[in-house]
Each structure stands twice: as structure tokens, then as C-alpha cells.
Amino acid sequence: MTKVSITDHSFQNNGILISIIIPMNSIIADDLAAVIGHNSLRKLWLAYNDLRSCANTILYSLSKIRTLTALDLSGNDMSEDTAAFVALAVTSNSSLEGLGLSYNRLSTSGIVTIADSLSNISTLKILNIKNTAFTEEASDSVTSLIKSNTGIEELYLGYNKLKAGALKIVRALKEVSSLKVLDLNSSKTSGIIADDLSAVIDRNSLQILWLANNDLRLNISTILDSLSKITTLTELNLSGNDMTDDVAASLASAIKSNSSLEDLRLSNNRLTTSSIATMSESLSKNSLLTIFDLRNNIVTEEAAGAIGTLVKNKTGIKLLYLGKNKLGAGALKIVRALKEVSSLKVLDSNNNNTSGIIADDLADDLAAVIDHN
């Protein structure tokens, strides 16, 4: 689901090398550094190349140029030792707009070093530091870089251990009015961010909001009420927040307002059949939904009719996750509805207590779904 937005198609301009997107490993670091030294690079994308400490050589060369606007070094197993070289490259390229460093081992000290360097520029629009092993101790530095780059559009912070530090960061985002993407998945925060996050939502035209696994519970209603006031949302992930039927009305309102929603993830909550009934009318007015995740809730066969109708109206649905509920014989209604769909890529109905009584009927209809997709 992750969107790496700092990448684009490579191009050349008057024979000058502008960008590089190539599979490689650390053995060409020295030669690539020489290439950088002879060109006016604007974009350099080197994600998932196992560069490790060899990235230092490349980054040192980048510190000698002033033209870079986008750099992606995600997934290179870089450690905090590389952070000083990243900071050096950032400082030299003060027009940097996109920086991708996700899936590295930069740690808290590394992120502090990099964030402090980013505080000295004002052009940053996209920052991806998800899953880089930093904690709430880095939140002051991240807050400072946001305050310096109030034109930021996409911020990926998920899968770190922000905890209470998330509150500082969200409060800094209240000064931003250009935000389109906010990733706080699995940040170990809590409902304390609800009021301030609502203010961020009110001020921005968010398109993507990922808040999975943050134990938001009832506080999520405040966030959902703000989402019901915007119309721009295309992706919403609220999985793993211990949500109950008490928030169903707010959730339905948010879904109804954002009729362009394409990706809705609500897994690992405590939503019941009642919630599905409450949401079904709002979801029925959405014709663009392609991903729907309801895994591991408390949805019974009584909800099968509503889900079946929903699926039947979503003929473009691609990923449907319904596993670990209690659909029982209701699974048959849903599978029969799926016979109208021709775009399905993933169907999860694991552990739904479908009895042997319906096994033959289910097999025949599922075969028809497979034939049609």
C-alpha cells in the first residue's frame, strides 16, 4: 500500500544526466560517485539496493552538487552511521523537495541528525522515514523540520515508536495547509492526538490517512467527525484501534462524505453486524472502492446480505478481506454476489465457520467467481 511519491520517470536534458533508476549493489558505489561528480543530478533513486555503508560514498558525492531535488535511499539497510552523510547531502542541496529513507536502521540519533539538517531548508514536500527505528526522543527534531517546511505534502512516519511524541508532531502539522498524505501507522500513539489531528484534517485536503494500530478507541470519533467535513479522502486505514459499534455512525458519516474512497481498512477491531448495517448505506453510494478489509471483527451471517449488496455494487473491487469473522452460511450470499465482479484479485474468507452443509453450493459459486476473475 505504501506510495513512494518521490519517484518519477527518468529523463535527460541536453545530454546532462538528470536522474537514475537502476538495480545495483554496493560494488558500483565508487563509479556512481564519479558519475554524480560529472553531472548535474536532479533526481536520484536508489531504493532497495543493499547499499549499507557504501551509501556514504554516494552521499559524499551528492554533497558536492547543488542541483538535487529528489533522493530515494529506502530499503538499503543503512544505519545511524550514514545519517551524517545524508545530512551533509541535504545541507548542500537546499532545494530538496523529496527524501525517501524508509526501511533503514537509522535509529533515533540518525533521524535527529537528518531532521536537524532538514530544518535548514524550506522546500521539502515529501518525507518518507517510515520504519527507520526511531522513537519519541526524535519528535522535537521532526517537529522543527515541519515548522521549517510548511509546504510539506506527504509525510510518512509509520512503524516507528513515536508514542507521546506523535502529539508534538501533529501539533506542528496544524501550521500546514498543503498536507495530502499522513502515515502514522503503528506509531504506538493513543487517543491523545485526536483533537489536534482533527484540527490538521480541518485545515488540509487529505487524500490518504493511515492510523492503523494506535489504540485510538472511542477517541477516533473526533477524528472521524473531522473527516466527514472533507471530500478528498481516497485511502483510510483504521485497523487495530479497538473500535466498537459506538463509532459506527461517525464512521458512516466520514465514508458518506468521501465518496471517492478507494481503500478502506477496518481490520482487527470489534465492529459487529450492527456496524455493517450502519455503514452499508454510506458505502452503497461509493462506486470507486477497490480495497475493503474487515478481517478479524465480530461480523456474523446476519451481515452477509448487506456485504453481498455492497460487493455487488462494487464491480471494480480488487481486494476483499473478510477472514476471521463469523459469517457462517452467510459466506454463500457474499460469494454469490461476487459472481457479478470481474476485477477480484484477492478474496480472504479464512476462519468464518462455513459449515459442511453449504460446502457444495459454496464450491460451485466460488468456482464461478474464479472463472469470472
Could you read off the pLDDT of 239-276 as tens digits, one per residue?
Answer: 999 999 999 999 999 999 999 999 999 999 999 999 99
Grid cell, residue 358, equals: 453449504
DSSP string over 227-282: HTT-S---EEE-TTS---GGGHHHHHHHHHH-TT--EEE--SS--BHHHHHHHHHH
Higher pLDDT residue, 22 or 164?
164
Confidence of residue 7 (pLDDT cuts 50, 70, 90): very low
**How far is the C-alpha of 2 from the C-alpha of 139, rounded, in Å?**
22
Cβ contacts of residue 365 below 8 Å, gap of 6+?
A: 332, 335, 336, 338, 339
Average pLDDT, the chain: 91
pLDDT tens per residue, range 271-290: 999 999 999 889 988 889 99
pLDDT at position 2 is 39
pLDDT at position 25 is 63
pLDDT tens per residue, range 55-64: 999 999 999 9
Give me the mean pLDDT over the 42-64 stretch: 94
pLDDT tens per residue, range 199-216: 999 999 999 999 999 999
Identify whether the C-beta of residue 367 lies closer than 8 Å to the C-beta of residue 337: no
Confidence of residue 20 (pLDDT cuts 50, 70, 90): low
**How far is the C-alpha of 82 from the C-alpha of 98, rounded, in Å?**
18
Q: CA–CA distance from 322 to each of 78, 185, 273, 284 (Å)?
A: 37, 21, 13, 18
**How far is the C-alpha of 30 from the C-alpha of 6, rounded, in Å?**
24
Grid cell, residue 290, equals: 477497490
pLDDT at 90 over 60: yes
Give me the mean pLDDT over the 63-92 stretch: 97
Higher pLDDT residue, 157 or 316?
157
Cα of 120 vs its chain's centroid, Å: 27
Buried b (16+ CB within 10 A) or exposed e, 90-115: bebbeebbbbbbbbbbbbbebbbbbb
**How far is the C-alpha of 317 from the C-alpha of 189, rounded, in Å?**
31
Give me the mean pLDDT over the 231-245 stretch: 97
**How far is the C-alpha of 191 from the C-alpha of 249, rounded, in Å?**
18
Within a 13 Å sphere around the CA of 48, how many CA atoms are in the beta-carbon half?
A: 3
Q: CA–CA distance from 329 to each of 18, 21, 119, 304, 368 (Å)?
A: 58, 50, 57, 9, 18
Residue with cell 465457520: 353
End-to-end alpha-carbon separation of the chain, Å?
Answer: 22
**How far is the C-alpha of 317 from the C-alpha of 172, rounded, in Å?**
37
